[in-house]
Structures are given as structure tokens and as C-alpha cells.
Amino acid sequence: MGQNHKKIIAIGGGGFTHRSDEVLDKFVIDQCKKKNINFGFLQTASEDNKDKIKLFYSELDKYNIQLSHFELCSSSNGFEEWLMAQDIIYIGGGNTKFMIKVWEDNNLIKLFKDAYNSGIILSGISAGAVCWFDWILSDSVGPGYNPLRGINILSGSCTPHSSVSERMSQYQADIKNSKLPPGIAIDDGVAVLFVDGSAKKVCTARNGCDAYFIDKNSKISLNEYINKL
């Protein structure tokens, strides 16, 4: 199973659950170098929304991969066996705070870390993109955008949907005011590949969209930041 390197793919917004940005789906699948890929979907953040699960099967059916999903809002029985049998895990969007609470209540966070360390690729969109970080700027905590703790696989902070100017402004302000550590903002239609904990590649499906590295003093294109490393 597994890869030589540990990989996470964080997608700012869009993708198959929105019937858009096919290039991003392919980008995720292409990170696995196996022939027979087991691709597992978790839609916990939308309380296992049936329409999203149907879209998962209908939109990804064209790829020659084994698709399955797990409904954690019903039960976590058998989850560890299912998780460790996957090559790629894809986490759908929705309420980040709710999703992380379900994971915590069922003692699943260590399992995700075990999967990551064993070489299973972790990926996801929106809530499923940001959950891996130490800190998140989220709209799932009260009104507006507020800091939320992630599950601490990737260091720093992250916000999805940074093409929304109000969200980006809040993210920059929170970093400047030390409410959040420096981190990465990802626009809709953009995926960022992390290898062994570091951002390595940006895949953009939409014109004018990008990902950014943000600290107290600057906002730079993540590609530019990666090239400086």
C-alpha cells in the first residue's frame, strides 16, 4: 500500500461534489502511483449528505479506481479497517467544527495520523482541506470567521475559499494580530500538494485563482514561496 513520501492535498473549493474542476480530481488521483487505487470518501462535514455521496460515485466513476465511502455520522464500527485499506482518502466540505468533533468523539484523529504515516494520501476540499493544519480560519465557529484548532498534521494555519475577499482580509488580520500563526490561503479551484509536511506544488483549475503564503508582513503567491525554499 503506501507511498515513499507522506502526502496531503488541500483543495480550497469546488471539485467533484460541485461538478467542477475535473483537473483537481485528476491531480489527487495522479499523486498515487499504484495501479489499483482504493479511493475512500468521507462526507462527515455535511452529516453524510446523500447527494454529495451520489456525486462522488457518479463523477469519479470514469476513473479506473475502486470507490468506497464511510458514513461516520451513523457509526464508526469498522472504520479503522476501512481507512487502512485505502490508498487515498478524500474529505468533503461542510461544517469543519462538527466534523472534527465527530472525529474526536470517536477517537479517530490518531487513526488519520496513522494512515498518513503509513503512506495513505490524505486529501479534501474546504473543511477537508484545512482540517489537517494546526489552526484554521473557519466559518463554523459562531458568526463570521474565527480561529479553530485543526488536527495538527501540518504546521501553521490555513483558510479555504480565499477568493472570498472578506475571508482573505480576516485571515490576514488574524495573522497580523497573532490570533493565527502564518499559513496558507487557498482559493476555490486550487489544490496544494504537501509532501512530508511542506508545500511542494500548486494545481490551478480556474483562471485568476491561486494559493498564497501569508505571514505578518506579506502575502505572496505560494508558487513563489515554494521556489524560494
What was the pLDDT predicted at 40?
Answer: 98
Q: Quick one: which of 104, 117, 170, 180 has its CA closest to 139?
A: 170
Q: One-letter amino acid identity for 85?
A: A
Catalytic residue among 46, 138, 140, 161: 161
Residue 126 a catalytic site member: yes
What was the pLDDT predicted at 1?
Answer: 46
Helix axes 109-117, 96-105, angle to 10 degrees: 90
What was the pLDDT predicted at 229?
Answer: 66
Catalytic residue among 126, 157, 162, 163: 126
Q: pLDDT truncated to tens, each residue of the chain (229 aa)?
A: 444 799 999 999 999 988 989 999 999 999 999 999 999 999 999 999 999 999 999 999 999 999 999 999 999 999 999 999 999 999 999 999 999 999 999 999 999 999 999 999 999 999 999 999 999 999 999 899 999 999 999 999 999 999 999 999 999 999 999 999 999 999 999 999 999 999 999 999 999 999 999 999 999 999 888 887 6
- 59: Cβ–Cβ under 8 A, 6 or more apart, which residues? 16, 17, 19, 25
Write down the CATH number for the domain with range 7-126+184-228.
3.40.50.880
What is the pTM for the complete model shown?
Answer: 0.96
Domain positions in the chain are 7-126+184-228
141 burial type by CB count under 10 A (0-12 exposed, 13-18 middle, 19+ buried): middle
What was the pLDDT predicted at 81?
Answer: 98
The residue to which cell 493565527 is assigned:
180
